[in-house]
């Protein structure tokens, strides 16, 4: 079974200077551009571009935006604008579309709660058995 690809800083073993430089160059090409510099697509209306910019700022502040989310954000902005300009039966359809895109972007409270939970699982450090033994010893000594 093939081994998964690793970033340069995670490689254990010897690499020549040329291999390191080639690897670093390839990794830099794969990194997405800064999401703060992301521009709204030209196909969005002026109103949707305002929604795009406003929502982009909110998502950047929350740390939830990556530059690859540009089309998702544009679709959300378009759905919000269509919702504002629709009436009656169309409005319900656009609400569903807008809510679906908002959920994808992490704008709704349930989506943010899921993201926070997943982030907390990722950030939890594994339990150290030695630390557990030290805590047990401390509790025994304090109990006497």
HEC letters along 81-101: HHHHHCCCHHHHHHHHHHHHH
Whether residue 26 is found in the same domain as residue 51: no
Per-residue pLDDT, 125: 61
Whether residue 119 is found in the same domain as residue 139: yes
Provide the token pair at 48: 């949707």
Q: Tens digits of per-residue pLDDT, 95-138?
A: 899 988 888 888 877 877 777 776 666 666 666 677 777 777 77
> Per the structure, how many domains does the chain have?
2
Torsion of Cα atoms, 72 then 59 then 9 then 31, to 10°: 40
> Mean pLDDT across the stretch 20-40?
73
Whether residue 27 is found in the same domain as residue 48: no
Whether residue 103 is found in the same domain as residue 137: yes
* Between 1 and 24, the higher pLDDT residue: 24
Whether residue 64 is found in the same domain as residue 114: yes
Whether residue 41 is found in the same domain as residue 27: no
Whether residue 20 is found in the same domain as residue 79: no
Per-residue pLDDT, 75: 92
Q: Tens digits of per-residue pLDDT, 81-100?
A: 999 998 878 888 898 999 88
Whether residue 26 is found in the same domain as residue 41: no
**pLDDT surpasses 80 at 78:** yes
**Model-level pTM greater than 0.75?**
no
Whether residue 105 is found in the same domain as residue 42: yes
Whether residue 91 is found in the same domain as residue 49: yes
Q: How far is residue 6's CA from residue 25's CA, in Å, rounded to a whole number?
A: 14
User: Going by C-beta distance under 8 Å and a sequence separation of 6 or more, which residues neighbour residue 10?
Assistant: none
Helix (H), strand (E) at residue 9: none
Identify the residue whose tokens are 């690793």. Answer: 6
Per the structure, the complete domain to which residue 83 belongs is given by 35-143
Whole-Å CA distances, 16 to 5, 21, 27: 18, 9, 16
* Between 122 and 16, the higher pLDDT residue: 16
3-class SS of residue 16: coil
44 neighbors 52 (Cβ within 8 angstroms): yes
**pLDDT surpasses 70 at 55:** yes
Q: Considering the chain, what is the average pLDDT of its residues?
A: 77
Whether residue 82 is found in the same domain as residue 124: yes
Per-residue pLDDT, 40: 87
Whether residue 50 is found in the same domain as residue 12: no
């Amino acid at each position: 079974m093939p081994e998964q690809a690793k970033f340069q800083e995670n490689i254990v073993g010897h690499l020549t200077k040329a291999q390191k430089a080639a690897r670093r160059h390839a990794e830099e090409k794969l990194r997405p551009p800064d999401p703060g510099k992301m521009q709204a697509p030209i196909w969005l209306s002026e109103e949707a571009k305002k929604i795009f910019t406003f929502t982009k700022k909110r998502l950047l502040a929350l740390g939830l935006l990556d530059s690859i989310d540009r089309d998702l954000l544009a679709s959300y902005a378009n759905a919000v604008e269509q919702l504002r300009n629709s009436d009656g039966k169309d409005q319900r359809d656009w609400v569903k579309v807008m809510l679906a895109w908002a959920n994808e972007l992490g704008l709704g409270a349930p989506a943010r709660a899921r993201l926070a939970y997943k982030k907390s699982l990722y950030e939890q450090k594994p339990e150290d058995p030695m630390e557990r033994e030290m805590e047990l010893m401390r509790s025994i000594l304090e109990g006497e």
